[in-house]
Structure 1
Amino acid sequence: MADLVKVWQKRGGKLLIGEAAHDNTPRLQEATARRTQELQQIANGLLPTVLLTERDSIEFLAGLLAAAAIGAPIVLANPQWVESDWQQVARLVEPNCVWGDCPIVPSSAATNAVRGSVMIPTGGSSGEIRLAMHTWRSLTASVRGFQTYFGQSQINSVCVLPLHHVSGLMQFWRGYVTGGTLAIAPFKSIQAGLRPAVDPATCFLSFVPTQLQRLLDSAIPFRERCAIPFPLRCAIDWLKQFHTVLLGGAPAWPELLDRAQALQIRLAPTYGMTETASQIATLRPDGFLQGRRSCGVVLPHAEIQCDAIEPLQIRARSLCLGYYPNFFPSDAPFVPDDLGYFDALGELHIVGRSSSKIITGGENVFPAEVEAAIWATKLVKDVCVFGLPDRDWGEVVTAACVLANADSSIDRLQQLVSAQLVPFKRPKRWIVLDTLPRNAQGKLNLAQLKTAIFDRQTAS
């Protein structure tokens, strides 16, 4: 059985945790050996399915590598799931081994999970959980496409995203496959001014839009606890040093992108999803700094087809096999809910989601356009536009927003938005809230938002 940690070390790989400058791969190797021994005891001639929900980064990666070494199917799980989420997962899969704290009891029954599969969750917390069935081959295809596109022999990453999510998992796998360094740092630590002991100029950093916004708003100087002699005194100075700051997970608003450009942050907006093992289109930082606002061109391992504004059709070597236990048709493209088009430069633009399109008085309205107009006023800290049923209009454009400060008002918002949008696109209903329900990746839970609005209206 291959010692996967030794393989990574031979390639030059390192694992850094928090601010520590020392390499944690010896600890990872020890933990992986322990987990491998546990699996061998459980297996008893069968290939066990492993459910992995460890909060500790080293224990998580050790479980991942131990299962990978013997080809055991792996189910990644979010430690923050609530009871209803765990119930959904329990109906989908019966793991033989559970690593981490969760209510699912290991089963002794054989499973039909694909050997060497990595099942990555998408959805959850009031939404339907689906397990995207990847393989190490599909994950590696994503790495190779990324590597070719950016022309990097080694991919070093500073990871502030959860490892159970595709956005965090792929940062580890890029480092593993290419012999790069992975520095894991909780985002709250970054906010507090504690930074990993790496040279940012050699690293990729991945954010969701809300994280980037919070860090740009932070005025906390970064503490110098690193041997690398960079005179970085604040978050913005630190961000500007990175080779590339990848941005994805949710649509970014124009004001955020404009601010990042003005600060000369080497941002690379991306398009991708769990099903494609992260990004399949990326805008190069130089293009972003020139003012382009697309998701960039398609990466070498993928193909995207769309004419005008229509649903995307995706083929990719990194595409998952299906949603466990079902497989996608082998000869058909994957069609997500996203609508987009290619511009004259061959760069992808995402307009919105087909399911979120609002039809009001016979006119089509895409929430992203309305949200962009609201963000441009700089009077909100967060916003979501959606349709609500209406007897006269079919649906009415509704904006739920968090006002930026005490000087912001709905009257002023309406005035400024009216100058940017034709009448049928303007929100007819405005709802002011203290916060909008978003997950760790910045994605808004629309069902939860609508429930909160309904409950508030019922109470009043």
Structure 2
Amino acid sequence: MNSNIFATFETIAREGNDAPFLETDDGQIVSYAQMLGTTARYANALIGLGVQPGDRVAVQVEKSARNYCLYLATLRMGATYLPLNTAYQLNELAYFLEDAEPRVLVCDPTDLAAKSELARSHGVAHVMTMTDEGSGTLDVMADAQADVFDTTQVSGDEVAVIIYTSGTTGRPKGAMLTHASLLSNGRALTKLWGFTNQDVLLHALPLFHAHGLFISSHCALLSRSRLLFLKKFNAEQVLSLLPRATVMMGVPTFYTRLLDQPEFTVTSAANMRLFVSGSAPLLAETNHDFQRRTGQIVLERYGMTESAIITSNPYVGERRIGSVGKPIDGVEVRIADNKDQMLPPDQIGGIQIRGSGVMKGYWRKPKKTAEEFTSDGWFRTGDQGTLSSDDYLTIVGRAKDLVISGGYNVYPKEVEMAIDALHGVGESAVIGIPDRDFGEAVTAVVVCKNESLTGDQIIKSLKGQLANYKIPKYVYFAPKLPRNAMGKVMKNILRDTYKK
């Protein structure tokens, strides 16, 4: 049996044949049969460039149907797909080329001479271009290839994708996800979230991140459903497409922007059976507003680059607002102290995971990999949380974001929730700023709805709600919080901005 994840996709796609697989926002429709032909041509083109199983194919292009078919083609011929954020500049790109040593770099034609020179200096054999309309050098090469390809036999332990962590602290690390881990995760989510071939997934996420590349899309491939494939999120466009869709996956920003649309109502969301949010925390206030507006609760789940999805609220059953749900099939979760000993329910500690969805390790970083796993095989996520007696996980913050003030641990999420509940506050981020007396001073950066709100008012409102050591020593106001491509607040930038 071929453990290549594409072999499973191929079997399902052949059953679908002429059924629509992907529809772009300009009306292009790609059937399952056409997807098989396109991936065969790209796979043959990669072989023609000397790509061998296990070689890395680095891709930095805008989202398109061709881009997604290139991802599937890379899996199909047994190479390793390396997605790169389209916002990376040349100096950032240099790090990934040096670290991953890809055989091929696929990019858009913009600034091609500089990219080619950079790639050559890092030993990349070929620099190819890809465009939405199919005029790139790789597109032209692929279009001349045969539309048949025997999917390469690989073991489940072979690396399918390397995705670099967001790099909000330190240099990015390449998480190695295998064919088996991706298939296990995809099957668990397809079953958990109730996907069938009658579903239509509204896909407005980027393809350089796990959320858009495979967490959402693999559910469609494994259920033979359809993708409405948008280049990017636009609230008005998404609102107009909701009557044609049944499922939407997004980051919290998607849902706040939908709520800003007066036309977003129970009626406009009537055809939708499921809204899913991930990649960043969804404010409880946002979910309550969403429920009031649509009658539905956004399903929150928890995942990370190193393991795809870890926990999820149920499709059928209690969706506990503020919690990220229960461990999915194939994944175990425990809360541990700083000696890796399991803690009882409802105690705050480090979130640790193990199971079939966890990465193989960090690319060419065996020492770092070993450091992140416990002696009994659990991966330390770096997140802090609690696990209830009925296995619902709640995240209270990142370990690296823990504020230690006067010898006391302050979990930012707890303070943020208290601030966010105040009248006139839009959102907040709590950080630790170096302080001579306290070690770190609890500091809040607040985005307001009410311009007249003051720091003293916020501090006064928190007194009586929180222990004194948790109350911010300083409150700053900002028009918005800095976020990375997937909507996560970059607290390292806030710490640099507001340090004394």
Kindly tell me: are residues 215 and 9 of structure 1, through their superposed partners in 2, closer, same or farther at Cα, counting changes over 3 Å? farther
Match of 1:227 in 2: none
- Partners of 1:82 and 1:125 within 8 A in 2: no
- Partners of 1:141 and 1:317 within 8 A in 2: yes
Q: Secondary structure at the match of 2:93?
A: helix
Kindly tell me: are residues 260 and 205 of structure 1, through their superposed partners in 2, closer, same or farther at Cα, counting changes over 3 Å? same
Match of 1:312 in 2: 351
Of 212, 216, 232, the residue aligned with 2:255 is: 212
Pairing 1:296–2:325 present: yes
Aligned ranges for residues 9-408 of structure 1 at < 5 Å?
10-11=15-16, 14-18=21-25, 20=27, 22-23=29-30, 28-29=35-36, 31-43=38-50, 48-101=55-108, 103=115, 104-105=118-119, 107=123, 115-124=158-167, 127-154=170-197, 156-169=200-213, 170-192=215-237, 195-196=240-241, 199-200=244-245, 203-219=246-262, 221=263, 234=264, 237-239=267-269, 241-263=271-293, 264-277=295-308, 279-284=309-314, 287=317, 292-306=321-335, 307=343, 308-327=347-366, 328=369, 332-408=377-453
Deviates more, 1:152-161 or 1:245-254: 152-161
Q: Secondary structure at the match of 1:215?
A: helix
Match of 2:154 in 1: none
Kindly tell me: are residues 268 and 16 of structure 1, through their superposed partners in 2, closer, same or farther at Cα, counting changes over 3 Å? same
Per-residue deviation, residues 311-343 of structure 1 (Å, max 9, x unmatched): 122112111111112354596111111112221
Q: Distance in 2 between matches of 1:3 and 1:298?
A: 24
Pairwise CA RMSD of aligned residues?
Answer: 3.0
Q: Distance in 2 between matches of 1:125 and 1:352?
A: 15
The amino acid that maps onto 1:317 is S
Q: Distance in 2 between matches of 1:40 and 1:4?
A: 20
Deviates more, 1:96-105 or 1:314-323: 96-105
The amino acid that maps onto 1:434 is P
How many angstroms does 1:364 deviate by?
Answer: 1.5
Structure 2 unmatched runs, 5+? 1-5, 127-156, 336-342
The amino acid that maps onto 1:105 is A
Q: Distance in 1 between matches of 2:202 and 2:232?
A: 10
Deviates more, 1:425-434 or 1:240-249: 240-249
Kindly tell me: are residues 431 and 159 of structure 1, through their superposed partners in 2, closer, same or farther at Cα, counting changes over 3 Å? same
How many angstroms does 1:175 deviate by?
Answer: 1.3
Q: Distance in 1 between matches of 2:350 and 2:408?
A: 18
Q: Distance in 2 between matches of 1:300 and 1:31?
A: 33
Q: Distance in 1 between matches of 2:240 and 2:11?
A: 27
How many angstroms does 1:145 deviate by?
Answer: 1.2
Q: Distance in 1 between matches of 2:484 and 2:446?
A: 17
Kindly tell me: are residues 336 and 48 of structure 1, through their superposed partners in 2, closer, same or farther at Cα, counting changes over 3 Å? closer
How many angstroms does 1:449 deviate by?
Answer: 2.2
- TM-score for both structures, normalised by structure 2: 0.79
Q: Distance in 2 between matches of 1:405 and 1:116?
A: 50
The amino acid that maps onto 1:323 is Y
Per-residue deviation, residues 136-160 of structure 1 (Å, max 9, x unmatched): 2211100111123234444642112
Q: Distance in 1 between matches of 2:174 and 2:265?
A: 36
- Partners of 1:27 and 1:58 within 8 A in 2: no
Percent identity, aligned pairs only, is 26
Kindly tell me: are residues 393 and 274 of structure 1, through their superposed partners in 2, closer, same or farther at Cα, counting changes over 3 Å? same
Q: Secondary structure at the match of 1:340?
A: strand
Per-residue deviation, residues 254-291 of structure 1 (Å, max 9, x unmatched): 221222233322311111111112x22111256556x6
